[in-house]
């Protein structure tokens, strides 16, 4: 269980995260991580910037330059810490609509990334996890919270079809700022059917859902995704990986100690992780990384010191 497939640093995600990338890697090593995937955000169009980025004068061009610096630094650090920790180099995509596809494909073509995370942070072009005001604005655009949930999963489906990401980030992030972050998805038939449609598509191409503990850090009762989604994906023989979605040293392995009961309750006995040997396949396509599995985790997870980190 000592792995995470989702991380950010203040060095390459300023204003949104803290600490140097190397210090975050050292923290993961101190917690006996086997794999820490590096997944800084990819470039986005100017209209898709967050308020903090607009205030800082960030542009698409500056984000492109930041991506180049990030990839070069990540390569340097992977070589430096070889043998101590596996550091797959990837990125978190920010699908803000079909216009994002060109930029995401450009990142894949430009750098030999090992993999990438497919995420949705916007609905109708509005950030839905940045602040409550943005969430309300997105909700008002579609008319109700249930319609916003439905729109989120429709746009997620569009992203899944367009990119086929190997890892799907925080599948039900939309609940973060909702009126009830512990929303019972199955209580809304139309929304639940869209969730099932998306899960079926992910399973059809072998995509992996991350179990993301950031939800626990933000006060929710369960990680992303909630139990009913995990159980539905298991019925489809879906696979899971683990992420802390850390945004600094203090968040590495945060709430891993609370994961064991969740895994047991939902019958999740395997977590997959990027192979330390080689993440890319022979064709160099990050959509099909080489994966390994930790089988029957219950005993090992319970004893591992990573789970004692807070």
Looking at residue 290, its pLDDT comes to 57
Average pLDDT over residues 288-303: 44
Is the Cβ–Cβ distance between 104 and 91 less than 8 Å?
no
Q: Count of alpha carbons within 13 Å of 38, Cβ hemisphere only?
A: 29
The answer, yes or no, to whether residue 306 has pLDDT greater than 60, is no
Residues of 115-125 as b/e, b for ≥16 C-beta within 10 angstroms? bbbbbbbbbbe
Q: Is residue 215 very low, low, confident or very high in pLDDT (cuts 50, 70, 90)?
A: very high
301 against 260, higher pLDDT: 260
Distance in angstroms (rounded) separating the CA atoms of residues 280 and 115: 7
Residue 298 has pLDDT above 70, yes or no: no
Domain count, the chain: 1
Query: What are the b/e assignments for 84-97, b being 16+ CB within 10 Å?
Result: ebbbbbbbbbbbbb
In whole numbers, what is the pLDDT of the chain averaged over residues? Answer: 89
pLDDT tens column, 2-38: 899 999 999 998 778 999 999 999 999 999 999 999 9
Query: Who's near 131: CB < 8 A, 6+ residues apart?
Result: 51, 177
Q: What is the pLDDT of residue 281?
A: 41
Instruction: Determine what percent of the chain is predicted with pLDDT higher than 90.
Output: 79
CB contact set of 288 (below 8 Å; sequence gap of 6+): 166, 206, 281
Q: What pLDDT, on a 0 to 100 scale, did the predictor assign at position 270?
A: 87
Give the C-alpha separation, 169 to 6, whole Å: 8
DSSP letter string over 205-229?
Answer: HT-EEEEETHHHHTT-SS-BSPHHH
Instruction: Look at residues 75, 79, 1 and name the one whose alpha carbon lies nearest to residue 34.
Output: 1
Tell me, what's the pLDDT at 13? 87
172, pLDDT greater than 60: yes
Whole-number Å distance between alpha carbons of 173 and 157: 14
Q: Phi first, then psi: what are they for 292, rounded to 5°?
A: -125, 170
Going by pLDDT thresholds of 50, 70 and 90, the confidence category of residue 295 is: very low
Instruction: Give the confidence band of 240 by pLDDT, cuts at 50, 70, 90.
Output: very high
Q: What is the extent of the structural domain holding 185? A: 3-308
Position 287 scores a pLDDT of 63
What confidence tens digit (pLDDT) does each residue in 39-54 have?
999 999 999 988 888 8
Q: Is residue 292 very low, low, confident or very high in pLDDT (cuts 50, 70, 90)?
A: low
Cα–Cα dist 222/218, whole Å:
10
C-alpha–C-alpha distance, residues 249 and 267, integer Å: 30
pLDDT of residue 269: 86
SS (HEC) of 78-104: HHHCCCCCECCEEEEEECCCCCHHHHH
Question: Which residues lie across from 162 on neighbouring strands?
Answer: none
Whether the per-residue pLDDT at 304 is higher than 50: the answer is: no
User: What CATH number has the domain bearing residue 43?
Assistant: 3.20.20.140
Distance CA 53, CA 55 (A): 5
- Average pLDDT estimate for 283-307: 45
- What is the model's pLDDT at position 301? 35
Q: What distance lies between CA 201 and its chain's CA centroid?
A: 18
pLDDT for the residue 55: 85
Read off the pLDDT of residues 121-169 as tens digits, 9 standing for 90 and up. 999 999 999 999 999 999 999 999 999 999 999 999 999 999 999 999 9
């Amino acid at each position: 269980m000592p792995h995470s497939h989702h991380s950010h640093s203040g060095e390459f995600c300023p204003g949104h995260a803290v600490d140097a990338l190397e210090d975050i890697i050292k923290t993961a090593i101190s917690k006996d991580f086997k794999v820490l995937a590096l997944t800084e955000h990819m470039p986005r169009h100017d209209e898709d910037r967050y308020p903090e980025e607009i205030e800082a004068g960030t542009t698409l061009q500056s984000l492109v330059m930041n991506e180049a610096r990030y990839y070069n630094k990540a390569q340097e650090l992977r070589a430096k810490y070889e043998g101590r920790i596996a550091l797959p180099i990837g990125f978190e995509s920010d699908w803000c609509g079909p216009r994002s596809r060109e930029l995401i494909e450009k990142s894949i073509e430009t750098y030999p990334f090992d993999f990438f995370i497919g995420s949705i942070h916007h609905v109708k072009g509005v950030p839905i996890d940045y602040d409550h005001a943005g969430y309300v604005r997105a909700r008002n655009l579609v008319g109700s919270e249930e319609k916003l949930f439905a729109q989120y999963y429709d746009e997620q489906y569009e992203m899944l079809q367009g990119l086929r990401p190997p890892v799907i980030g925080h599948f039900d992030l939309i609940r973060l700022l909702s009126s009830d972050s512990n929303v019972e998805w199955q209580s809304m038939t139309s929304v639940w059917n869209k969730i099932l449609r998306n899960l079926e598509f992910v399973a059809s191409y072998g995509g992996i859902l991350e179990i993301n503990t950031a939800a626990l850090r933000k006060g929710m009762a369960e990680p992303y995704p909630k139990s009913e989604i995990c159980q539905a994906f298991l019925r489809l023989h879906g696979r899971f990986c683990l992420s802390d979605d850390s945004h600094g040293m203090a968040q590495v392995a945060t709430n891993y100690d609370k994961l064991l009961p969740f895994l047991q309750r939902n019958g999740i006995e395997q977590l997959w992780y990027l192979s330390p040997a080689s993440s890319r396949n022979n064709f160099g396509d990050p959509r099909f990384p080489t994966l390994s599995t930790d089988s029957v985790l219950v005993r090992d997870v319970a004893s591992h010191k990573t789970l004692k980190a807070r």
